[in-house]
């Protein structure tokens, strides 16, 4: 899990380290400075800002989750997708199985309300992979009316058709536990 967090953190920090570009320059065309890392970077440290369409897909996925009808997300997923959740669970399944599984989880909630703190679309130039990184807060209310919130950071990878095929999720408590 620590390795996944490091990979996601490196991707996010590397993306933030891109050069500023003129407004008329196309996404992804900016060269980045090499990162002088005291660590071996296992995945990549060569990211550039990318077309916002994948970030928009992630925003729409979050909106579909909040609304509760995950069938509307079908065209946003590749034929197979892998999820790596913050609790250590890893699922690799077909799109239809993923939607059915997620729908069961979402249906167990009375409501889910997300807020977005930041989002960006990036491309790994040495791996030619497109990603979208999002962080925000999720406030869920279960069937009994109990509300819980958590900070969420997700990193989504997209295939060549613009469909999500991998998601890493990290979560932290939104508020300290109440003393009894």
For 51-107, write each residue's pLDDT tens digit: 999 999 999 999 999 999 999 999 999 999 999 999 999 999 999 999 999 999 999
Q: Quick one: pLDDT band at residue 32, thresholds 50, 70, 90? A: low
Q: Would you list the domain boundaries of the chain?
A: 2-19+38-173
Task: Tell me if the pTM is above 0.85.
Answer: no
Q: Quick one: pLDDT band at residue 1, thresholds 50, 70, 90? A: very low
What would the pLDDT profile of 125-176 be if each residue is shown by its tens digit? 999 999 999 999 999 999 999 999 999 999 999 999 999 999 999 999 987 6
pLDDT of residue 133: 98
Q: What CATH number should be reported for the domain whose range is 2-19+38-173?
A: 3.10.450.50
pLDDT of residue 20: 43
Asked if residues 128 and 84 have their Cβ atoms less than 8 Å apart, the reply is: no
């Amino acid at each position: 899990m620590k390795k996944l967090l490091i990979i996601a953190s490196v991707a996010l920090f590397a993306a933030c380290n891109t050069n500023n570009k003129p407004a008329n320059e196309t996404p992804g065309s900016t060269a980045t400075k090499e990162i002088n890392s005291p660590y071996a970077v296992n995945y990549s440290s060569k990211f550039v800002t990318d077309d916002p369409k994948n970030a928009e897909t992630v925003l729409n996925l979050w909106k579909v989750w909040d609304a509760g009808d995950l069938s509307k997300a079908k065209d946003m997923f590749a034929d197979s997708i892998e999820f790596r959740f913050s609790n250590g669970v890893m699922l690799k399944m077909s799109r239809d199985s993923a939607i059915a599984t997620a729908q069961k989880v979402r249906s167990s909630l009375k409501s889910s309300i997300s807020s977005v703190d930041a989002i960006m679309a990036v491309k790994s130039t040495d791996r030619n992979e497109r990603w979208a990184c999002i962080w925000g807060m999720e406030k869920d209310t279960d069937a009994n009316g109990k509300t819980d919130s958590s900070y969420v950071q997700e990193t989504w990878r997209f295939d060549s058709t613009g469909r999500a095929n991998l998601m890493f999720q990290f979560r932290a408590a939104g508020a300290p536990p109440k003393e009894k």
